[in-house]
Amino acid sequence: MSMQNKQPFATSLSSSKILAIGIFICGIFIAVFGIWAAMAPLNSAAIASGKLVIKGDKTLIQHLEGGIISEVAVTAGQVVHPGDLLVAFDTTATSASLAASQTQLLDSLALQTRLMASQNNQEVDFSQLQEIYKLSPELDNIIANHSLLAVTNRNNFANQLQLLDEKILVTEQEIIGLQAQQVALQATDKLLRDEQNILNNLASHNTTFIEKNQLAQQIAANKGSMGQVQAQIAQARQSIVATKLEKVQLKLDQQQYTLDQLTQLSVAIE
């Protein structure tokens, strides 16, 4: 009975010693660490850079193309709502760029109208363009310039065709003159041959060999002249054909140039 009562007491005493020893060891460890922390040199600590970031939903507002701010409409910490003006940019450069783009567009549209009229061989009509862009201050000058260009180009093209027509007319007149020479040479050839026949019939009389030879030379020379005139007529006719082909090619080139310009303009305007 006494042995059973002494055993729990011994166990309780042993646990108290263990707890006391543990507290003592922890105290020693804390004391040693405190002394080390107080006496350790600062240059032995690890140094690193950092950045202080405010916690919150901050949105970066940035202009896509940049520019000069002419007005700031809000202050720091001010509550704003969707659609409120935050900053205003200086529109001087933007307005100038927009005006230049609008002028270029109007010029392209006027050129397109002029080329289409040229392609259809019609007078240029800018009335539709004037109705759509009647408020543009540059439109009148643009239309005036393209109207002048239309007249100038039309006159230049007509002059080129006229020069070719005159070349054909001159060549035709040359052919008429050559044909007259041809008729005269044919008549001369007939006379010479008649004279030759007469001399042959009078061979038994006072005709000499020299006279017959001279007459034969005249006939040959006349025949050569007839051949030259015939060749000149053929060459003149070939020249007329070439000039007519040149007229056709000139018109085709004009049409192709107009078509190419219209195609490029359509791509640029779109």
Tokens, residue 146: 């393209």
**Cβ distance 76 to 58 under 8 Å?**
no
| Model confidence pTM above 0.75 | no
* Tens-binned pLDDT, residue by residue, of the chain (270 aa): 444 444 444 444 466 667 777 777 777 878 776 776 666 665 555 555 666 555 555 666 666 666 777 888 888 888 888 888 888 877 888 788 888 888 888 999 999 999 999 888 889 999 998 888 888 888 899 999 999 999 999 999 999 999 999 999 999 999 999 999 999 999 999 988 888 887 777 655 555 677 778 888 888 999 999 999 999 999 999 999 999 999 999 999 999 999 999 999 888 877
Q: At which residue do the structure tokens 């044909």 appear?
A: 179
Cα–Cα distance between 263 and 265 in angstroms, integer?
5
Nearest to 255 by CA among 128, 108, 149, 247: 247
Cα–Cα distance between 143 and 126 in angstroms, integer?
7
Report the b/e string of 162-198 with b at 16+ CB within 10 A: eebeebbeebeebbeebeebbeebeebbeebeeeeee
In Å, how far are 69, 88, 97, 131, 193 from 62, measured between CA atoms?
12, 13, 21, 40, 107
H or E segment and range at residue 72: strand 69-72
Q: Please, is 39 exposed, middle or buried when counting C-beta atoms within 10 Å of its C-beta (0-12, 13-18, 19+)? A: exposed
Q: How many CB atoms lie within 10 A of CB 42?
A: 6
Q: Is 70 in a helix, a strand, or coil?
A: strand
Q: How many CB atoms lie within 10 A of CB 118?
A: 20
Residue 3 zone, left/alpha/beta (φ > 0; ψ -120 to 50; rest): alpha
Tokens, residue 63: 């202009």
Tokens, residue 267: 């791509």
Cα–Cα distance between 175 and 232 in angstroms, integer?
8
